[in-house]
Amino acid sequence: MRCPGFLIILFVNLLLMGCSGGPSKDTHHPRTLFVSIAQMKFMPAELHVNSGDTVVWENKDIVDHNVVEETSKEWSSGVISKGQAWKMAVTKNAVYFCSIHPAMKGKLVVE
């Protein structure tokens, strides 16, 4: 009899779909988003991300910069030289600034 085999496969498939939340549910793939540093500004100054997304800061300016979490200095890029970039996976909201040029500020908002 072939019927029981078919039913077993169907059952296993349904079980797997149940475990993974089903095909209709959105499976979030981390994205890579870019912040351009140019004309002494972070662009965009406020970036909305999903938790786990990677943000790449690209220094397109005429001088060196860095990126430092402002409130508790939780993370810091080190110097990002002209023409260089630095990236980080983002998991929580942050207000950041360039400690070399403290007037430059940016914000990450986790949706």
Partner 1 sequence: MSSSENLKKIILMGLLSTSVSIMVLGQAAPKLADDEIASVAVVANQSDIDFAKIAKQKSKDQEVLKFAETMAKDHQSVIDQAVALVTKLKVTPKDNDLSRKLTADATATKKKLQAASASSFNKTYIDNEVGYHKAVIAAVEGVLIPQASNPELKQLLENVVPTLKTHLEHAEMIQKTFASK
Vertex 45 angle, CA 85 and 92, to 5°: 80
* Single residue of 80, 94, 104, 108 touching partner 1 by CB under 8 A: 104
Report the residue number, 86 or 97, with the smaller CB distance to partner 1.
Answer: 97
Q: How far is CA 79 from CA 21, 71, 111, in A?
A: 43, 19, 28
Considering the complex, what minimum distance in angstroms separates the CB of residue 87 from partner 1? Answer: 23
Residues numbered 34-73 forming contacts with partner 1, rule: CB under 8 A: 39-41, 61-64
- The Cβ of residue 86 has, within 10 Å, a number of other Cβ atoms equal to 20
> Is residue 100 part of the contact set for partner 1 (CB under 8 A)?
yes
Q: Which tokens is 99 given?
A: 């400690």
How many residues bind to partner 1 according to rule CB under 8 A?
13
